[in-house]
Amino acid sequence: MVLPTSEETKQIDQASQIITEAEYCVALTGAGISTPSGIPDFRTPGSGVWTRYSPMEVASLSAFRSHPDRFFNWFRPFIKNLTQADPNPAHLSLAQLEENNLLRSIITQNIDALHQRAGSKIVIEVHGTYRTLTCLGCYQHMETSPQILTSFLEKSEIPICPQCGQFLKPDIILYEEQLPADIWGQAREEISKCDLLLILGSSLTVTPVCDLPHIALGSGANMIIINKTSTHLDEMATVSIHGDLAEILPLIKDKVLNEKE
């Protein structure tokens, strides 16, 4: 681990104080919180998923309907990577903050379920999850059972609806799909109630999620941004730290919990 600079130490102290004093803290997380777990993000030049694939060809609703085999061939190694990944210290830190009533909820753009595996209870998955499936024929909804997952990953069997025989679509939000109204409503409600928004590992470039911070700012909330690269809202944040979340967030968490004792 690289020791924080004096400037980073000052920022960590400031962030810790703001979290300690907040009454309703909400976290918004993006792909950057899971990259330390070995899950690549989508847009980083050279390593992002979309530098190797065209999203409209493999991850759009029309692509799924017209070429489901192409979608599942792309999705298989991606999901295998997710299932083999473990929560990192950043995920664990958020779970500990929630356990100590210092974090009310997590709104995540990720579909990897690492927040839940780390122990977080209130997680709003605005881009869906691979843990459930829906039939596009009869709309039957079911969990992605270990049997379905094993058959898909190890035997390359595409999940089929037992009721009508159509393909089962993982409940992730593809291009050309709208976010589920109920989930999006929950996210907006949490944002409107918060007096502190933690933006963690998000470049804030994907709509409509990138609009959520503006709701918080409009309500007078403080904002802390921790991301490896700059965002267009850095100057509007109370604290903005560029660095590795798996290293920085545990330092903030430890200081917050120590101040609470």
Known catalytic residues? 127
Type of residue numbered 15: A
> Beta 128-135 vs 141-143: how paired, if at all?
antiparallel
227-258 burial: b if 16+ Cβ within 10 Å, else e: beeebebbeebebbbebbbbbbbbbbbebbbe
List strands edge to edge, sheet with 141-143. 141-143, 128-135, 168-172
Chain centre to alpha carbon of residue 257: 24
Long-range Cβ pairs for the range 135-139 (8 Å, 24+): 135/161, 135/163, 135/164, 135/166, 135/167, 135/168, 135/169, 136/64, 136/65, 136/166, 136/167, 136/169, 137/161, 137/164, 137/165, 137/166, 138/163, 138/164, 138/166
Of residues 90, 107, 106, the one with CA closest to residue 39: 90
What span, in angstroms and rounded, lies between the C-alpha atoms of 174 and 42?
Answer: 13
| Token duo for residue 58 | 């493999």
| Token duo for residue 247 | 């290293």
What span, in angstroms and rounded, lies between the C-alpha atoms of 235 and 233?
Answer: 6
